[in-house]
Structure 1
């Protein structure tokens, strides 16, 4: 059975995803966030050690890029899975509007 078959779509206001994440997806996302957490701890240590400003800024940039990658990955998954499924169920307008709002917010 494919991942998109037999899916019970939820409404936009529900707190759970329309298409639940697989254990593999959760594990991958959590691993990325744990790496970012380690980078942030490294930044804290750099500040404690009064490291050179440019070195700290480079690390901040790396953390921002890593977080953005996680966010874009989440948006892509949402569009490909949740919004796609809602469109197939005839409920796509609300989900598309919600997606566009979060894209606008995310790209500010």
Structure 2
């Protein structure tokens, strides 16, 4: 039961963040507006980037380009501050959506939630 409540809270929180971020556009009219970046070379980050890019392309037809500047979604892992299965989404200046996982599972769950 505790895990179900935790997942519900994570989904509710993530959904709320997307509602607040009206101006962060990933795809518009079938064209990618934002890019995507792995914040580290960890396999879990690379896999999360590939997962998001794949499903954005399947659902919109737009191909997200990997880039380290401009409007982009950045995926990274930070150990310590978050639960290993948890994640955080922040909107930074310069049109950056930063998705941080507490571990390999956390960044994977974040990528899945993004795709939903």
Query: Same fold per TM (> 0.5)?
Result: no
Structure with greater contact order relative to length (CA < 8 Å, sep ≥ 6): 1
| Higher-helix-fraction structure | 1
Give me the TM-score of the superposition, normalised by structure 1.
Answer: 0.28
